[in-house]
Amino acid sequence: MMAVLKAAYTALILYLMRRRQFDNVKLRTYFRKHYGIDVGLYSYGCFDRWRMPGPLRVGRYCSIAGTVRSTNNNHPITALTTHPVLYERKFGGIEVDHEWQGRLTIGDDVWIGHNVVILPGCQNIGRGAIVGAGSIVTRNVEPYTIVAGNPARKLRDRFPPDLIATIEASRWWELDIPALRALIQQDRALVYHPTAESLAAWMAAAQAQGNGEPTAPGTVRRESDRSLP
């Protein structure tokens, strides 16, 4: 009875924490500790160990639809049977669950649409990438590319190369929400319609102020919640 009550209490707490999942630090700590799911601040849609199991690492500012699924293993097609009796203890064929190698890493500022399935052939979705709704992702997705389809294929780059390079240099995703809000108020066009020139000017202005790094007023570096390299 106590085990049932404890499980019900945990489920209730997780439900309440998910109501503000984009910035809940306790939720992130719980999933990192218990499920090997490490999620950066302001990302959402990946706090479900059955739908997106660990080991999993997600960067900051990621938008992941609630119907996205990932899997870290396939049924063994070269074995005598494809049945999970060969790798899951609960079926009675083996003594301990098989430990799968590899980890799915999703970079900062990735958008993954509804009903996307990420298969084990994909272990990295690069920063700034977009995965179209309904895609079946079978291999790695390069940074700042837009992919879609079954299997997912590159449609185009999200930005021209010079803008991508400047975005990478800016590391804007390390801004917290108040700092990003300040930047929107300061220069709305820079945020909604960035160019290599406008971003470079912003970084130069920040460095001229003596910050040594491109930040907006009020920026906070979250050392306990670093973005991906």
Domain boundaries, the chain: 2-157, 161-225
Q: How far apart are alpha carbons 84 and 94 in whole angstroms?
A: 10
Q: Is the separation of the CB atoms in 59 and 110 below 8 Å?
A: yes
| Helix (H), strand (E) counts: the chain | 6, 12
Q: How far apart are alpha carbons 172 and 190 in whole angstroms?
A: 11
Please choose, from the candidates 154, 132, 134, 152, the residue with its C-alpha nearest in 3D space to the C-alpha of residue 143: 154
> Could you report the per-residue pLDDT of 6-30, keeping only the tens digit for each?
667 677 777 667 778 888 899 999 9
Catalytic center residues: 75
Please choose, from the candidates 223, 106, 125, 228, the residue with its C-alpha nearest in 3D space to the C-alpha of residue 176: 223
Q: Which residues of the chain have pLDDT under 50?
A: 214-224
Question: H or E segment at 204?
Answer: helix 196-208
CATH architecture of 2-157: 3 Solenoid (2.160)
Model pLDDT, residue 111 = 98
Model pLDDT, residue 225 = 58
User: The tokens of 163 are what?
Assistant: 């803008």
The residue behind tokens 């690069």 is: 126
Model pLDDT, residue 15 = 65
